[in-house]
Amino acid sequence: MNRKTNIIKSIIFLMGIIIFFTILYIFYINYYYNGFYKAEYNRGVTTFTRDNEIKFSDNRSYKIESNNYNDACFYKEFTVEPNTPYRITCMVKTKNVISESEPSDSGAQIFLVETVEHSEVIKGTNDWRKLEFMVYSRDKDTLKIGFRLGGDETNCKGTAWFSDFKVEKGLNNKNTNWNMACFIFKNIDVEINEQQVNLSMNLRDIDIMKENMERFKNSSAELSKNAMTVTYDIYEIEEPITSLTYSDKYGYYVGPDNVKNLIYDYLKKGEYDYVFTIVRLGNEEENIEIPTYDWIGLGGMDLEGIGYSNIRLPNNDRNYVYTYDYKINIFPEEVYIHEFLHTLERISKEAGYDVPELHSYSEYGYEEKNLTGLKAWYRDYMQCNIIGEQGEYIGINPIIYEFKPVHKEDFEFSIEVEFNEEPNNILEAIINIFKRIKGE
């Protein structure tokens, strides 16, 4: 009798264990995010779930749903080798993804957390498609990669499903030659304050800006003491720019999203490291002026991992800012140098290097010269030869010139890196649960 009772108790105990772990497993597959963290700008607006109904493969997808405008993501930190290229891919599906305003960088995307670098942005309603994002680890030993429904400057709403994450390690490329694309937009046709504005460049405009691109190439090598070099292609774009970006600080300018569709095919072919966009936003003779606030160039922006800047022609053709004249201006490429340095400044700060603010030249005893502008400041900035408060030398660390955008050629012999391996059965799931409890 006692033996029979013990057997029954053992069976009940085993059944209890099975039921407990089954419930634990069900909870795991529905609410465990496999090491991902959830983040949102406006708390409580977005719902994060593991979706078993809409998925690309056997594993549940990662679903982000925002019924109101928000910036939300799943993100994960993983170990990397310093100064190494990585390629992150996933499958993504979207439904009714709408940005709060257009043009914008918001939508479904892969991004490097705490930077402006991100992949192609997907909006609207789309079936499953592949997203790719390439990033250089710089001197980091960990990276935070996020899968996002949102953007840096603008929020969005809708639903996105992410699945089948993959990370590959490429080969380190220490080449310090920057391959650049210079886009000269010959025409603008935009609506400003309910009025249509049309502007065009003349041949003299185009020739001067081409000459300055060559001068920029030579000055980059000279000022950096050959720590970096430049190659470039120039494209004259006939199709007009039809939208502009506005900010209270700068007024109107040409942001990456204003021209992305016009230049995307060129960028895919060229594997470029930096983009200049050259535009005219006013013409004094024709009494046309699109409001801009105290800028002739704007830099430090990003176009899907590529540095991006605006170069604006002056409204007055008699302005010599871009014209070489041995009596007036022998450094007309200065704006090109300045805007490119804003990108190196941003990269330096994101990589954790101390670098002076590019506009802080007067604090270090530099001043603008009549013929050469701030050439001496840029030279010492690029050669890390500015004397700091403690007598140390500061500026662009030479390694920053290696921190270029990553390209497909860097993954000719890639190695897959473990990133998001899902449990294949209940036993693996239970082991993962206890690992998480123990903090492994």
Q: Could you tell me if 237 and 352 lie in one domain?
A: yes
What does the pLDDT look like over 225-236, one tens digit per residue? 999 999 999 999
Total tally of structural domains belonging to the chain = 3
Is 21 part of a structural domain of the chain?
Answer: yes
> 140, 173, 206 — which closes off a domain?
173
Q: Residue 3's pLDDT is what?
A: 65
What does the pLDDT look like over 113-172, one tens digit per residue? 988 899 999 999 999 999 999 999 988 999 999 999 999 889 999 999 999 999 999 998
Rounded Cα distance, 309 and 292, in Å: 15
Asked if residue 370 lies in contact with residue 110, where contact means CB atoms within 8 angstroms, the answer is no
Which of 76, 80, 78, 79 has its CA nearest to residue 36? 76
Rounded Cα distance, 253 and 239, in Å: 17
Q: Could you tell me if 356 and 426 lie in one domain?
A: no
Rg, Å, the chain Cα set: 27
Question: Can you give the residue range of the structural domain that contains 116?
Answer: 37-173
Q: Residue 430's pLDDT is what?
A: 53
Q: Which residues of 77-111 are buried (b: 16+ CB within 10 A; e: fewer)?
A: ebebeebbbbbbbbbbbbeebebbeebbbbbbbbb
Is 416 part of a structural domain of the chain?
Answer: no
Asked if residue 153 lies in contact with residue 379, where contact means CB atoms within 8 angstroms, the answer is no
E strands in 292-344? 297-303, 306-313
At 13, the amino acid letter reads F
Is 53 part of a structural domain of the chain?
Answer: yes
Q: Residue 76's pLDDT is what?
A: 95
Beta bridge partners of residue 307, listed in sequence order? 274, 302
What does the pLDDT look like over 389-434, one tens digit per residue? 899 999 999 999 999 999 998 998 899 998 877 655 555 555 555 5
Q: Residue 27's pLDDT is what?
A: 59
Asked if residue 159 lies in contact with residue 70, where contact means CB atoms within 8 angstroms, the answer is no
Rounded Cα distance, 403 and 115, in Å: 14
Q: Residue 294's pLDDT is what?
A: 87
> 130, 152, 173 — which closes off a domain?
173
Left (φ > 0), alpha (ψ -120 to 50) or beta: where does 300 sit? left
CATH number at residue 165: 2.60.120.260
Rounded Cα distance, 328 and 337, in Å: 19
Is 87 part of a structural domain of the chain?
Answer: yes
Q: Could you tell me if 290 and 330 lie in one domain?
A: yes
Sign of the C-alpha dihedral computed for residues 174, 175, 177 and 183 taken in this order: negative
CATH number at residue 314: 3.40.390
Is 27 part of a structural domain of the chain?
Answer: yes
Low-confidence residues in the chain, pLDDT < 50? 437-438, 440
Q: Residue 46's pLDDT is what?
A: 97
Q: Could you tell me if 212 and 112 lie in one domain?
A: no
- 150 CB-contact burial (10 Å; exposed 0-12 / middle 13-18 / buried 19+): buried
Is 323 part of a structural domain of the chain?
Answer: yes
Q: Could you tell me if 183 and 127 lie in one domain?
A: no
Q: Could you tell me if 302 and 332 lie in one domain?
A: yes
Q: Could you tell me if 30 and 42 lie in one domain?
A: no
Rounded Cα distance, 112 and 118, in Å: 6
C-alpha distances in Å from residue 288, one per residue of 6, 27, 310, 374, 391: 95, 64, 19, 31, 50
Q: Residue 126's pLDDT is what?
A: 98
In angstroms, the first-to-last Cα distance of the chain is 46
Q: Could you tell me if 141 and 235 lie in one domain?
A: no
Q: Could you tell me if 139 and 263 lie in one domain?
A: no
C-alpha distances in Å from residue 30, one per residue of 49, 51, 255: 7, 8, 41
Asked if residue 351 lies in contact with residue 402, where contact means CB atoms within 8 angstroms, the answer is no
Is 191 part of a structural domain of the chain?
Answer: yes
Is 417 part of a structural domain of the chain?
Answer: no
Q: Could you tell me if 303 and 361 lie in one domain?
A: yes
> 173, 206, 224 — which closes off a domain?
173
Helices (H) and strands (E) in the chain, counts: 6, 23
Rounded Cα distance, 408 and 401, in Å: 19
Asked if residue 321 lies in contact with residue 330, where contact means CB atoms within 8 angstroms, the answer is no
Q: Could you tell me if 115 and 144 lie in one domain?
A: yes
Q: Could you tell me if 217 and 306 lie in one domain?
A: yes
In the structure encoding, which two tokens stand for residue 123, read together?
């909006």
